[in-house]
Structure 1
Amino acid sequence: MQFGIFTVGDVTPDPTTSRTPSENERIKAMVAVALKAEEIGLDVFATGEHHNPPFVPSSPTTMLGYIAARTERIILSTSTTLITTNDPVKIAEDYAMLQHLADGRVDLMMGRGNTGPVYPWFGQDIRQGIPLAIENYALLRELWRKDVVNWEGRFRTPLQSFTSTPRPLDGIPPFVWHGSIRSPEIAEQAAYYGDGFFANNIFWPKEHFIRLITLYRQRYAHYGHGTSEQAIVGLGGHIFMRKNSQDAIREFRPYFDNAPVYGHGPSLEEFMAETPLTVGSPQQIIDKTLTFRDAFGHYQRQLFLMDHAGLPLKTVLEQLDILGEEVLPVLRKEFAVGRPATVPDAPTHASLLARRDAEASAVPAPVLP
């Protein structure tokens, strides 16, 4: 079971001080959060990709490459890579390059994005979002798996005898998760290829995500990749904690009330009752997170959002210390209890390379005449 954090990289005023960090401060804060994530023993740091204010992570590979040079162990991921508005050729090149620089500590979460105006900025039509996601990803897979690609589709110019460089590290493309909040077509796509499916698991009640994950698991088995319980599932979540719940709620409330994606709607208490958002003591975080397994089955990756809505860096780093000291060890222990041996771990570069080598060594030698 992998645990980590993801950031959306919003530049939001702190409602308690009215101070808005500069873009430079926010970018450097994201790097500090990633370094702290490795320090406390998390497995994954993931950054979103956005091309509009109030967000700053427009170039995930630049940021992740910088973080790769300053870390040794943590997996560097996206949350998400925009498969609709990025050219698949550029994705193939950029993330293969990052894979080499990070010695394989890279995977991607593909997504369509949730900001409509981005599409025309990159010459695309939002009404074609699903077909774009399907076609672009099919091309990306070929670019990573074939040394020479000939391609013709609906949404880009044809490719003739094209080779994407650099080639994936050790001939193993980065593992791909398909992220979705609401699209069954994306769950179907993940199942078709045997890739991971990441349900963001914020904003909506669990019943909504249960339907998406159940569909993915059923279709994963249908396509012959394994049983439904062997499907590769990841979940998001949003947490804030202090030693006691009253302090956590009192401190977080102004941030919730003014957050770009939460504020000016249901109360904090209503939102916590209806969605995975958890604000409280470390034990409450543990208890709520453990219910995810009951709802979604055994899964492979849990990422938390912890730096949203204008929280100052000092507070975020304090949150991470609590996570590492009081929450993470318990979650690792409890999620391991009763986990069937048939449920796989999340793929990594090392595990994918080992599997390929094992399969190659198992192939019988040709019989010579």
Structure 2
Amino acid sequence: MQFGVFTVGDVTPDPTTGRVPTEAERIKAMVTIAQKAEEVGLDVFATGEHHNEPFVPSSPTTLLGFVAARTSRLVLSTATTLITTNDPVRIAEEYAMLQHLADGRVDLTLGRGNTAPVYPWFGQDIRQGINLAVENYALLHRLWREHVVDWQGRFRTPLQGFTSTPRPLDGVPPFVWHGSIRSPEIAEQAAYYGDGFFANHIFWPAEHTQRMVGLYRQRFEHYGHGSADQAVVGLGGQVFVRANSQDAVREFRPYFDNAPVYGHGPSLEEFSAQTPLTVGSPQQVIERTLGFREYIGDYQRQLFLIDHAGLPLKTVLEQLDILGEQVVPVLRREFDALRPAHVPDAPTHASLRAARDAATATTEAATTAAGAGATP
């Protein structure tokens, strides 16, 4: 199972000091967080994509390319790549380029975003959000798997004899997760292609996430990709952890109360009871996270949001130390012990390439055997 962190890249005042980091400081802080994630033994770093203040990660491939040059093992991903407002041709080319630069340590999570004005900013209509997600991914899927593409759709100019360059590394496209908070159509899309489904799992109660993941698993099996429990699932989540829960709650409360996304609403205690937000000791984080398996089954990736709401970099790095030393080793051991042998690990470039090669060898052997049988 993979464990990691994701960032939404918000530039938010620290409510305890009033200080606002500069954009340059925030961008460089995200790089530092990624490097620290690798140092403490985490598996994944993911960045969001936003084109509005107070967020800075408008160019995920630029950020991840920079991180790739400063890491050697970390899987580089996105918390959201906007499939609705980005040209799928550019997504195909930019992430294939990143895949080469990072020696295959790349996957991405496609989503529609949470900012309505982004649609007209990029010449699209929010009322077509689902249709854009479906059509654009259908094209992206082909661009990574077909050398020459002829294509015509509703939302971009036609393609005639087009080849996306560079081609995916080793002929193996980056693995795709389809991210959603509330849209069953996206769970259906992930299942149709046999891709991963990433449930944000931050703002909604367990029952909602259970329904969404359950739908994806059911449809994954329906389309013949494997049994429902073999479907590839990822979860988001947010934690703040200190040696004891009282210190964690006291320290995190002003950040929660003033957060740009969920601040000025339910109390920290109410929000923690109704959603997967966990603020407490390492043991509390371990127990709460292990409990996710009880309602969504075995899953492959857990990402934590730890740098939101103006938390200073020093505090975020301390959080990473605690996760790497006290939380993730226990979670990794417990989840691995519980997972049945037939449930797959999280896909990587190496595993996808091996599966492709094995399938090719099987096909070639069958063809050879058929030809030998037909010889008089």
Given the two structures, how large is their TM-score scaled by the length of structure 1?
0.99
Cα offset, 1:362, TM superposition: 1.8
Which deviations, in whole Å up to 9, do the C-alpha atoms of 1:128-183 show, x marking residues without a partner? 00000000000001111000000000000000000000000000000000000000
Question: What letter corresponds to residue 33 of structure 1 in structure 2?
Answer: I
- 1:145 is aligned to 145
Q: CA deviation at 1:188?
A: 0.3
Q: What per-residue deviation string (whole Å, max 9, x for no partner) do you get for residues 81-118 of structure 1? A: 00000000000000000000000000010001110000
Which secondary structure state, in structure 2, belongs to the residue aligned with residue 337 of structure 1?
helix
Using the alignment, how far apart are the partners of 2:203 and 2:148 within structure 1? Answer: 43
TM-score (norm 2): 0.97
For residues 138-177 of structure 1, the aligned pairs below 5 Å read 138-177=138-177
Q: Which residue of 2 aligns with 1:260?
A: 260
Q: What displacement does 1:314 show?
A: 0.2
What is the alpha-carbon root mean square deviation over aligned residues?
0.7
> How do residues 10-21 of structure 1 correspond to structure 2 at under 5 angstroms?
10-21=10-21
Task: Kindly provide the amino acid, as one letter, of the partner of residue 35 in structure 1.
Answer: Q
Query: What's the counterpart of residue 336 of structure 2?
Result: 336
Letter of the structure 2 residue corresponding to residue 82 of structure 1: L
1:336 & 1:165 partners in 2: Cα distance? 38
The equivalent residue for 1:182 is 182
- Paired with 2:362 and 2:298, the residues of 1 have a C-alpha distance of 30
4+ runs of 1 displaced by more than 3 Å? none
**Which residue does the alignment assign to 2:134?**
134
CA displacement 1:58-79 (0-9 Å, x = unmatched): 0000000000001000100001
Aligned position for 1:7 = 7
Match of 2:88 in 1: 88
Counterpart-to-counterpart distance in 2, 1:3 and 1:261: 24
Count of residues in Structure 1 that have an aligned counterpart in Structure 2: 369
How far is 1:360 from its partner? 1.4
Amino acid at match of 1:81: T
Deviation (angstroms), 1:296: 0.6
2:280 matched to 1:280? yes
Q: Which residue of 1 aligns with 2:230?
A: 230
Identical positions, percent:
78
Q: Secondary structure at the match of 2:13?
A: coil
Q: Is structure 2 residue 290 aligned with structure 1 residue 290?
A: yes
Letter in 2 for 1:228: A
Distance in structure 2 (CA, Å) of the matches to 1:298 and 1:116 = 34
Instruction: Tell me the secondary structure at the aligned position of residue 144 of structure 2.
Output: helix
Per the alignment, residue 321 of structure 2 pairs with: 321
Residue 246 of structure 1 is matched in structure 2 by 246
**Is there any run of 5+ residues in structure 2 with no aligned partner, and where?**
none
CA distance in structure 2 between the aligned counterparts of 1:61 and 1:284, rounded to whole angstroms: 35
The CA deviation at 1:338 is: 2.4
1:304-347 per-position Cα deviation (integer Å, ceiling 9, x unaligned)? 00000000000000000011011011001111122100100111
SS in 2 for 1:154: coil
Deviations 1:275-295 (A, max 9, x none): 000000000000100100011
* Distance in 2, Cα, partners of 1:135 & 1:357: 29
Q: Which residue of 2 aligns with 1:43?
A: 43
Distance in 2 (alpha carbons) for counterparts of 1:262 and 1:153: 38
